[in-house]
Amino acid sequence: MNCGWIFPYKRICFVCERPLNMGFDELGQPHTEAQPAIEFIDGLKLYAYHGEAIPACYGAIRPEQWRQQLLHQEVNPQLLPILLKGLQFNSIGQLTSEQEALIPVYREKWQALRLSSKPTNRQAATEAIKAAYELLNLPEPDILFFSNPDTAIEYLKKHPDRKQHPAIKQPSKHQRTKLFWHYLLMCLIRQLEAQLEVQLYEDLGKQLISSNPWQGFDLGRPFGVQLGRFFPISPPFLRRLWGEGYDLAVAQPDAWATRGALFDFCFMVLGCLHNLKVWQVFQVITQECGLIFPYEDKFIVCDRPIKILVDSQGRLHGEGEPALLFADGSRVYVHHGVRLPEKYGAVHPQEWQTQWLLEETNAELKQVLIQSINNTNN
């Protein structure tokens, strides 16, 4: 009854004063509006919204005053779902027949953008990247452009020393919450989730979000980066962390584009409110950049391919020609999502020689070759 927090050790016990004031909601969770939920005698003030800790910039004002800041400035996806509840949006639960008729239009629009082979507009990409870092409250990075991912990865491989490697500079604990590249993507997702009923959000996702990002264009297979001290392969896009233990940060704008149709439809057709600056950055980076490597002080951009071939399932695929062709002439040969050496990829599968199968030591590649030959013979 007389102590707050205590920290008992063998030879010493720390005792904290009890708070001067505490506020709770009807469920007994720390909660107040426009004042601290917990206040201590030394002036320390803690703010909470229905049991969730929130920054003072929100806690010191009433929820109805959050609207402008949440929609146009806040990009932290961990904070957004807590605070967006306070805005009490009118949730959208169903579509009109006119709105449903537009779903294929937006799906096809973004499928075309995913497969676009137009040359990269480096000026537009540079401006979008600078805007992204400004949104994340980060200093403007050095922006490096490479003609294809192979040359970008070779650049990274030339910096094996931890003191020189551009990815090694780790953020402080204070900065860490700001350093997730996918915060920009998640910002838009959280704002949509606050305005759509769960079932409608899931249904639209199934109809608009492509489930087939380019197989064969992942970091590990086409470009030969293996697991290791400096070059671990990142997990799927939404879990690719920037600055939390990964020495190689990577993101594939094609993965962002799979969400683009959903965002575009909801913003343009349903009129969902959103962070316009984040949406503009999202669109430019998705449309102008190939593989990107975002770091705290460097941002590496690979040009988009000038030629992209896919099979009926959306996997990279070419027969006797490159599935990806870059402006500098570099080529990537892929067979139904699996990268091939040039000696296989540059000729039609019908011309693959049985002798090559006897010499091939890569079990996965050999299986691909055998499967293709069987399909051709049948």
Of 42-51, 162-171, 261-270, give the lowest mean pLDDT range. 162-171
pLDDT (0 to 100) of residue 355: 67
Q: Tens of pLDDT along 288-316?
A: 888 887 777 778 888 988 888 888 877 78
Q: What is the mean pLDDT of residues 65-88?
A: 84
pLDDT interval class at 257 (50, 70, 90): confident
Q: How many helices (H) and strands (E) does the chain have?
A: 16, 13
Question: Which run of H or of E encompasses 112?
Answer: helix 103-114
pLDDT (0 to 100) of residue 27: 87
Question: Which residues on neighbouring strands pair with residue 310, listed in sequence order?
Answer: 316
pLDDT (0 to 100) of residue 290: 83
pLDDT interval class at 252 (50, 70, 90): low
Indicate the Cα dihedral angle 24, 27, 33, 36, nearest 10°.
30
Q: DSSP secondary structure string, 69-91? A: HHHHT---TTTHHHHHGGG----
Specify the pairing of strand 307-308 against strand 324-325.
antiparallel
Q: Tens of pLDDT along 181-223?
A: 678 888 899 999 999 999 999 999 999 987 655 544 444 444 4
Name the token pair of 146: 């490479």
pLDDT (0 to 100) of residue 215: 46
pLDDT (0 to 100) of residue 229: 30
Which of 98-112, 233-247, 352-366 ranks highest by mean pLDDT? 98-112
Is the Cβ–Cβ distance between 115 and 306 less than 8 Å? no
For residues 69 and 55, give the distance between their C-alpha atoms in angstroms, rounded to a whole number.
13
12 compared with 254, residue with greater pLDDT: 12
Calculate the CA 295 to chain-centre distance: 13
Q: DSSP secondary structure string, 193-213? A: HTTB-HHHHHHHHHHHS-S--
pLDDT at residue 244 tops 50? no
pLDDT interval class at 96 (50, 70, 90): very high
Of 12-16, 57-61, 149-153, give the lowest mean pLDDT range. 149-153
For residues 334 and 131, give the distance between their C-alpha atoms in angstroms, rounded to a whole number.
35
pTM of the shown model: 0.76
Indicate the Cα dihedral angle 48, 52, 54, 59, nearest 10°.
-30
Q: What is the DSSP letter of 165?
A: -
The average confidence (pLDDT) of the chain is 78
What are the backbone dihedrals phi and psi of residue 337, each rounded to the nearest 5 degrees, phi first? 90, 0
pLDDT (0 to 100) of residue 177: 36
pLDDT at residue 57 tops 70? yes
**Nearest in space to 132 (alpha carbons), one of 236, 279, 254:** 279
Residue found by looking up tokens 């090559």 in the block: 356
Residue found by looking up tokens 């430019």 in the block: 284
What are the backbone dihedrals phi and psi of residue 312, each rounded to the nearest 5 degrees, phi first? -65, -15
Rounded-to-5 percentages of helix, strand, coil across the chain? 40, 15, 45
pLDDT at residue 273 tops 60? yes
Is the Cβ–Cβ distance between 75 and 222 less than 8 Å? no
Q: DSSP secondary structure string, 244-267? A: SS-SS--B-HHHHHHHHHHHHHHH
For residues 345 and 329, give the distance between their C-alpha atoms in angstroms, rounded to a whole number.
15
Residue 324: partners with Cβ closer than 8 Å, 6 or more residues away: 217, 222, 305, 307, 308, 309, 316, 331, 332, 334
Tell me which amino acid residue 14 is: F
Count Cβ neighbours within 10 Å for each residue of 298-337 and write b for 16 or more, e otherwise: bbbbbbbbeebbbbeebbbbbbeebbbbbeeeebbbbbbb
pLDDT (0 to 100) of residue 147: 92
Within 13 Å and on the Cβ side, how many CA atoms surround 63?
16
